[in-house]
Structure 1
């Protein structure tokens, strides 16, 4: 049994990103604390009962920073938190960012193969306070309206742009690039009236849900498809598959180079769509549903610690070598610029 302290840097009174709460904010200004809040809710109904929450960092076996973006593109605010410096060997992060380098051990939704190490990282998933309420399990229709669907921005990666070229009446591709940014800041009420129901209805009417990579190799659609009971079609050569899920039984993988053959591949597997979709839902219930999230988060962090080969004080330093990549260096510099512009502080 592990004693776990769940935290978010946005909860710290000294965090410079704290802002006054908008009276119209349905989440009381706590959107960035959403991952921490959702894991705490999960711990309260955890069916396993193997791990408990504590508030004292000295007492905790694990300290997990559950973050949804306020930590900086490269976990700057977490890395400089006094608990990380004092309790480095028992500190972990849950990070949903697209570009984050694994400066800290933990779970990363968009974990790249080049950054994976069993003694430091696991692939996580995506959490939001404003999850689409219409993305819930629906029985498979006797006849699918669409072979497959993708509703999302096509400008985030070239593999998405390829989808537009193969779109058809059977393979639905809807580009939301024009209002993608605005959609991020829509209230749940606005999304409820328009985007959310249409998004879910389109997926429910499809045999397969296309899950291409975006700016990062991960895709939130993959987990939404599993939740709805539709087979996810994973198109991401760089993504590290979470290790517990039996992906061969509940998904189809298509290499990025084979996107032009996508319709042909899915037609060949159409007879398996229901079987794969129901298996996807089963795997989601076992590992990603609200009640079990906390348990498996802790289990992953414990597994990382058990497989650790180097002290974290050393292993963390080795991550800096990835900044030799000009792409990473550019995003790292951009992150410094964003933080300085917003808070007039330089955080390295």
Structure 2
């Protein structure tokens, strides 16, 4: 298989650092079936780590303005970790919601990079799990989080904390976050800007059962998620406490299995292999695509509707924004 790696020296749409792309490129370099090429015409597939940016309906025009992507859109596969992922390009996504996910075009992957390095270090003093459940995060990203606080902040079985930080936490905040998860039997993972959060995987790494309260979350393939995590519907958030109490006896076993799943599939020793395997599988399953078919998919009503890009949807959003302003 001949691969071209599309970095920022070739495309302005590529992430300037491209750390995930570099890691995958190195991993694939050891595969006998893979050969790096430097011409898009020769490549069977083109891999890009997209630059993180807000992407609306105009992003199609940006893709079509890129010389390589415009000519060979059917060959392009993305590595994307944006909260508001569109699913426009085929490829690997950490945060693509269920309504935009298509297993023939996308694969869901865990995060490769995390903002809190202390999650993966052993703290000197690890407190016991004395709370039923805990959560710490920013409430601005989702009304579900505000509802969670409203319902359970005064419940002494829960340890809930809010922060205004956004991926710029201090050292003390990072350490406090780790201790907070370890002090609880269950780690609450409500949807934020995206259905997924770092907390799901951090909880696994810390040996705590993630309670995923995100209806649009699509779990990465591999682990048997039902054996170590709990999925709880957003609309029933007012029944969360009784649900957790009913499952409290399982918490220790679920946490142990969550850590085992993390070690087997997602830890730093195997995550690049996980990504490499996933992208190769997608490339092989999409080998018969043509440029015309890919452009047709980009322009499809289905994709436009799922992203809120149709003209009626955009008009309605403008009206809502005007009402909010006045």
1:117 aligns with 2:102: yes
Question: Which secondary structure state, in structure 2, belongs to the residue aligned with residue 207 of structure 1?
Answer: strand
1:228 aligns with 2:206: yes
TM-score normalised over the length of structure 2: 0.78
Q: Report the aligned-residue RMSD.
A: 3.5
Q: 1:68 to 1:235 in 2, by over 3 A?
A: farther
- Structure 2 residue corresponding to 1:318, chosen from 297, 301, 307: 297
Q: 1:279 to 1:67 in 2, by over 3 A?
A: farther
1:205 is displaced (CA, Å) by 1.6
Q: Is the 8 A contact 2:98 2:216 kept in 1?
A: yes
Residue 337 (structure 1) aligns with = none
Matches within 5 A, 1:164-313: 164=149, 165-167=151-153, 168-176=155-163, 179-180=164-165, 183-184=166-167, 186=168, 191-308=169-286, 311=290, 313=292
Deviates more, 1:156-165 or 1:246-255: 156-165
1:211 is displaced (CA, Å) by 0.8
C-alpha separation in 2, matches of 1:6 and 1:292: 21
Matches within 5 A, 1:44-59: 44=26, 54=36, 56-58=38-40
Q: Deviations over 1:272-312 (max 9, x none)?
A: 22222222222222332223222222222232233347546
Q: Is the 8 A contact 2:95 2:108 kept in 1?
A: yes
Residue 134 (structure 1) aligns with = 118
Q: 1:298 to 1:317 in 2, by over 3 A?
A: farther
What is the aligned residue count?
A: 305
1:43 is displaced (CA, Å) by 6.0
C-alpha separation in 1, matches of 2:90 and 2:203: 28
C-alpha separation in 2, matches of 1:169 and 1:113: 34
C-alpha separation in 2, matches of 1:169 and 1:51: 56
C-alpha separation in 2, matches of 1:278 and 1:314: 46
C-alpha separation in 1, matches of 2:134 and 2:23: 32
Question: Which secondary structure state, in structure 1, belongs to the residue aligned with residue 120 of structure 2?
Answer: coil
Question: Which secondary structure state, in structure 1, belongs to the residue aligned with residue 117 of structure 2?
Answer: coil
C-alpha separation in 1, matches of 2:248 and 2:39: 51
Q: Is the 8 A contact 2:72 2:291 kept in 1?
A: no
Residue 103 (structure 1) aligns with = 88
Question: Which secondary structure state, in structure 2, belongs to the residue aligned with residue 214 of structure 1?
Answer: coil
Residue 70 (structure 2) aligns with = 85
1:238 is displaced (CA, Å) by 1.5
Residue 145 (structure 1) aligns with = 130
C-alpha separation in 2, matches of 1:276 and 1:51: 38
- Structure 2 residue corresponding to 1:64, chosen from 34, 47, 55: 47
Unaligned runs of 5+ in 2: 315-326
1:324 is displaced (CA, Å) by 3.8
C-alpha separation in 1, matches of 2:249 and 2:32: 40
- Structure 2 residue corresponding to 1:37, chosen from 19, 28, 37: 19
Question: Which secondary structure state, in structure 1, belongs to the residue aligned with residue 186 of structure 2?
Answer: strand
Q: 1:55 to 1:192 in 2, by over 3 A?
A: farther
Deviates more, 1:255-264 or 1:265-274: 265-274
C-alpha separation in 2, matches of 1:215 and 1:209: 18
Unaligned runs of 5+ in 1: 18-31, 334-348
Q: Is the 8 A contact 1:51 1:295 kept in 2?
A: no
C-alpha separation in 1, matches of 2:280 and 2:160: 41
TM-score normalised over the length of structure 1: 0.74
Question: Which secondary structure state, in structure 2, belongs to the residue aligned with residue 221 of structure 1?
Answer: helix
